[in-house]
Amino acid sequence: MKMYLISDNIDTYTGMRLAGVEGVVVHEREELKNALENTIANAEIGIILLTEKFGREFPEIIDEVRLHHKTPLIIEIPDRHGTQRKADFITAYVNEAIGLKL
């Protein structure tokens, strides 16, 4: 299975291309929807890497894909500016998922 990047900036795209990951740069809502549809249609792609900006700006599009498709796995990654998440976001996510405070 392959990874595929959908990015909002050329710098992240270039860095991932240097690591051997193919992808595309998009900026608008419709471009993102089309890129996701094309990526989902490709059975060779098992992981979609999305920059965090898309998760913040278009969560309904991302959630729709996650709810209705088992594969590919969607992972949000920080872009060149770093993450916008809190320092303990993983702990908070686990606490919410299991209902216990760790």
Task: Tell me the pLDDT tens digit for each residue of 45-59.
Answer: 999 999 888 888 888
Give the Cβ contact number of residue 22 at 10 Å: 12
Architecture of the CATH domain 2-98: 3-Layer(aba) Sandwich (3.40)
Domain locations along the chain: 2-98
Q: What is the pLDDT of residue 53?
A: 85
| pLDDT grade for 101, boundaries at 50, 70 and 90 | low
Give the Cβ contact number of residue 76 at 10 Å: 16
Q: What is the DSSP letter of 76?
A: E
Give the containing element (helix H, strand E) for 1: none
Q: What is the pLDDT of residue 38?
A: 93
48 neighbors 29 (Cβ within 8 angstroms)? no
Report the sign of the C-alpha dihedral through residues 63, 67, 72, 76, in that order. positive
pLDDT tens, residue by residue, 6-46: 998 898 899 889 999 999 999 999 999 999 999 999 999 99
Q: What is the pLDDT of residue 76?
A: 86
